[in-house]
Structure 1
Amino acid sequence: MQEREVARRISYRRFRRRILRRRGEGAPVASTPLSTRRRCFPCAECDPVRQRLVLDSPTRDSEAATSSCAGSEHDGTGDPRPFALLDRMSGDPQSEEVMKLAAPALLNDYYTNLLDCSCHGVLALALGSAVYLWNSETQTLEGSLQPGPHIRAPAERSYLQRQAVSSVRWSRDGRLLSVGTRQGHIKLWDVEQKSKVMSLQPHLSTVGAISWKQHLLSSGSVLGRIHHHDPRAPTPLVGVALQPDSVCALDWSPGEERLASGCKNGSLCIWDGDIGGVSRERRPIVTMRQPSAVKAMAWCPWQRHVVTTGGGWKDGALRIWDVQSASCIDSVQTHSQICSLLWAEERRLLVTGHGPPRHHITCWTWASPSLRKSLQLAGHLDRVLHVSSSSGGGRMFSAGADGSICVWDV
């Protein structure tokens, strides 16, 4: 027994001495002691293998060069840059999809409004705490609006997540972009100058939706408060309203005489054009209800007393409402979550973006009182959270939870 212990100690001393000698020679060093039963001695056959592995491994300089070459389409994390081209259709006349662009880390939140197209064809897309601007005419990325520097520290990253953008909306002349955040802040940006014009009085919760009425900006929060701001006034907050639950959607009618607000509890509230005042208690002139949250909502451009809503995953119904009679005049069951919708006035189409099970886009024609499906588009692998269109109506844009933007020729 003692002889075994002595032999083990001698073997360990030899092993340690060999490790120290090889470390001085610059050779690889084992991470753990070798077993005394199967001792391994240096062999000339191992050296060519070791040298070949070193030669085949890329150097730090080559890695940096590769990273810089890929920098045009990828960021530092390996994700594609916003609006990087992922796929382009080859001119197939049977396909309506023109191209697919990257929207990395697009927030998969049903209650956000992160995509909007200006009257000049500039797309605003919110990714995290930044808003990226892409010109659909020239197909180029024009820049981004950044509230602060890019931060990687975990504690500071969580701060930026709290500052994430929850809604964007262009002014009707396409000059100003309004940006609402999860912390309730509302900022106006002059896009041509790439500068912040002003910060409006914040909400106490997430800004869920924004809508413009000429120079008047209306914003709705998760706490159900609707603020009306006039940036030209010395005190921009000029009116306040309160609805029963979270504001999911907000939209002024084409004639700007009524404001429609969607509620998380399924209420569709219609307000008159008199914004009242800060201290005045206001009530909607009409309230209609559906079984799920009113998030997908839009006014019909050529029937100014008609507003359309889409149901969530428990409902799935597309409804057309007459606000004068406070009634639903038409509805169709889509058997799918309706995440977004818009009216394409020039084409007289109603476009809906869907969630499970197929994540498709559907185009509808409406000749009162019948609503008929005319076209179905497939291009996303996850739910279509946002849809928008160019001012001429020829191009349509959709952003999905799969991290992509599809450009459609409708």
Structure 2
Amino acid sequence: MLGDFVGRRRHCPFKGQYEVDTETYKRFRRRIIQRSHGEGPCASTPVAPRWRCEPRFKLDSVCQRLELDSPPRHHEPEQRVLQGAHQEAVSVGRTSHGEAVLPPNTPRAVTVRRHPVAENVTEQGLVWRAGDQEHENAQCAGCDERGLDLKPFAVLHKSSGPGGSATKLLAPSLLNDYYTNLLDCSCNGMIALALGSSVYLWNSETRALVGHLEPGPQPGRPSCQTRSISCLCWSRDGRALCIGTRRGEIQLWDVEHKQNMRRLPSHMSVVGALSWKQQLLSSGSVLGHIHHLDPRAPAALVGSAVQEEGICSLQWSPGGERLASGSTGGLLHIWDSHVAGVTKSRQPITTAKQTSAVKAMGWCPWQGDVIATGGGWKDGELRIWDTQSGSCVTSVNTNSQICSLRWADRRRHLITGHGLPHHQVTCWQFPSLSPIYQLTGHSQRVLHLATNPDNTQLFSAGADQCFHVWDL
């Protein structure tokens, strides 16, 4: 075709010279364009057309590495919104698919604003705010258009059922991430719940909001940079609250005196789980590193261990003889109580395998060698393990994703929180694993569970951004 284009000439009688046939050139150009649209770039085109190029971004090397350490990335857009959700416009309804509906004339673009730094910012980067202080822009999920108080733990509904009475409260900005551990109850009945980038403290006896912790500027970082909370855990005596972040930092907070005691830069990646053994704190990261920390020592790190897969659950046995770590790849590792020394050569004494991540996990309070695990949506199996032999003693298929697991030791029951299809809380008889009753009320998966010390109350937090109190 190009030869025809070059060869075909016609004589111009006015200028006395040959000119290019413009009609042939237009036809040649039109064919090239049609072929590029219908069949992709032509062979003669050295680069892809502009509209087929993928955007590329140049990220800071440190931030890029830390982001790659995170669990599955499909939550990233949601996480960025939830971290500043208490600054967003208030949601006043939900669609049939659970999607929040903004009020009329509300712009779709969300502008995240930070609170000005208060006077009580400590060097460790946490701010204490009293419970009666107004949380002016709290987000609402699942509430109606009435003029309700949209603060966290505001009561939405009360009901009664076969398992007992239930109270539904608000939990705005609760992160919908399967691999987080954002709820815990102390031995004194104090609830700690992470909502967005803040931790709220709620007294389960008086049912009053005591206060909340907000992240302040971190030393050496810009004041506008926030840190999302990935896990938290109360100490055994209920006096200290430990908070792990996605940047590998561990915050140790004295709740009684409202002071941040220490900031422990423990990991270089996301802190996936925390567990206490008397005064010893153990933490696990998504890179598979287990660090044993003594907050009383100047050099807090006293021991470590490494496993190949990322850690999404970590728990010491009630007597402190064994440490269990669950991985994202479905491995359950049992470690001995020896924690001294920083070494990579330590090996678990027992390893068990299931077909999905070992996120829901808990030691039996009255049988020290027994531990229960729950499988994800690809598995759905509730298993009881003998850690001495590494064998599965009994199991039951729940036909549902198991997101959380707790033992009720005084009732000798096992409680699980589920995802699809029913988003229920199930109570099981031990050791037969026969279901006793189910608690329904969440519209999305039940991510976190906790019980009060005397097992008369059960607490659940779901992806529907609601917090339930079940009076058993």
One-letter amino acid of the counterpart of residue 75, structure 1: E
What is aligned with 2:329? 265
What is aligned with 1:58? none
Q: 1:199 aligns with which of 253, 263, 269?
A: 263
One-letter amino acid of the counterpart of residue 232, structure 2: V
What is aligned with 2:155? 85
Question: Measured at CA, do residues 78 and 266 of structure 1 come closer, stay the same or move farther in structure 2, by a change above 3 Å?
Answer: closer
Q: Is the 8 A contact 1:96 1:377 kept in 2?
A: no
Deviations 1:53-98 (A, max 9, x none): xxxxxxxxxxxxxxxxxx9997325532111111123xx4645242
**CA distance in structure 2 between the aligned counterparts of 1:156 and 1:366, rounded to whole angstroms:** 50
Q: Is the 8 A contact 1:87 1:99 kept in 2?
A: yes
Q: Is the 8 A contact 1:73 1:84 kept in 2?
A: no
CA RMSD of aligned residues (A): 1.7
What is aligned with 2:276? 212
Question: Measured at CA, do residues 254 and 77 of structure 1 come closer, stay the same or move farther in structure 2, by a change above 3 Å?
Answer: closer
One-letter amino acid of the counterpart of residue 84, structure 1: A
Q: 2:168 aligns with which of 80, 94, 100?
A: 100
Q: 2:459 aligns with which of 382, 397, 404?
A: 397
Q: Is the 8 A contact 2:216 2:223 kept in 1?
A: no
Question: Measured at CA, do residues 93 and 382 of structure 1 come closer, stay the same or move farther in structure 2, by a change above 3 Å?
Answer: closer
**CA distance in structure 2 between the aligned counterparts of 1:363 and 1:95, rounded to whole angstroms:** 9
Give the CA deviation at 1:280.
Answer: 5.6
Question: Measured at CA, do residues 225 and 350 of structure 1 come closer, stay the same or move farther in structure 2, by a change above 3 Å?
Answer: same
What is aligned with 1:246? 310
Equivalent residue of 1:138, what SS?
coil
What is aligned with 2:384? 320
Equivalent residue of 2:367, what SS?
coil
Q: 2:436 aligns with which of 374, 379, 400?
A: 374
**CA distance in structure 1 between the aligned counterparts of 2:414 and 2:139, rounded to whole angstroms:** 37
Give the CA deviation at 1:225.
Answer: 0.3
Equivalent residues in 2 for 1:11-410, closer than 5 Å: 75-76=136-137, 79=140, 80-89=150-159, 92=160, 94=162, 96-148=164-216, 159-160=225-226, 163-279=227-343, 281-367=345-431, 370-410=432-472
Q: Is the 8 A contact 1:276 1:282 kept in 2?
A: no
**CA distance in structure 1 between the aligned counterparts of 2:138 and 2:162, rounded to whole angstroms:** 36
Equivalent residue of 1:313, what SS?
coil
Identity %: 58
Structure 2: give runs of 5+ residues left out of the alignment.
Answer: 1-131, 141-149
Equivalent residue of 1:107, what SS?
coil
Structure 1 residue ranges (4+ consecutive) displaced by more than 6 angstroms after TM superposition: 71-74
How many residues are treated as equivalent by the alignment? 328
Deviations 1:136-163 (A, max 9, x none): 00110000112228xxxxx987x32xx1
**CA distance in structure 2 between the aligned counterparts of 1:95 and 1:228, rounded to whole angstroms:** 40
**CA distance in structure 2 between the aligned counterparts of 1:407 and 1:386, rounded to whole angstroms:** 12
One-letter amino acid of the counterpart of residue 102, structure 1: L
**CA distance in structure 2 between the aligned counterparts of 1:263 and 1:135, rounded to whole angstroms:** 32
**CA distance in structure 2 between the aligned counterparts of 1:176 and 1:121, rounded to whole angstroms:** 13
One-letter amino acid of the counterpart of residue 147, structure 1: P
Question: Measured at CA, do residues 78 and 131 of structure 1 come closer, stay the same or move farther in structure 2, by a change above 3 Å?
Answer: closer
Equivalent residue of 1:374, what SS?
strand
**CA distance in structure 1 between the aligned counterparts of 2:379 and 2:238, rounded to whole angstroms:** 35
**CA distance in structure 1 between the aligned counterparts of 2:133 and 2:443, rounded to whole angstroms:** 25
Equivalent residue of 1:343, what SS?
strand
Equivalent residue of 1:255, what SS?
coil
Provide TM-score, normalisation by structure 1: 0.77
Give the CA deviation at 1:279.
Answer: 3.4
Report which stretch shifted further, 225-234 or 275-284. Answer: 275-284
One-letter amino acid of the counterpart of residue 76, structure 1: N
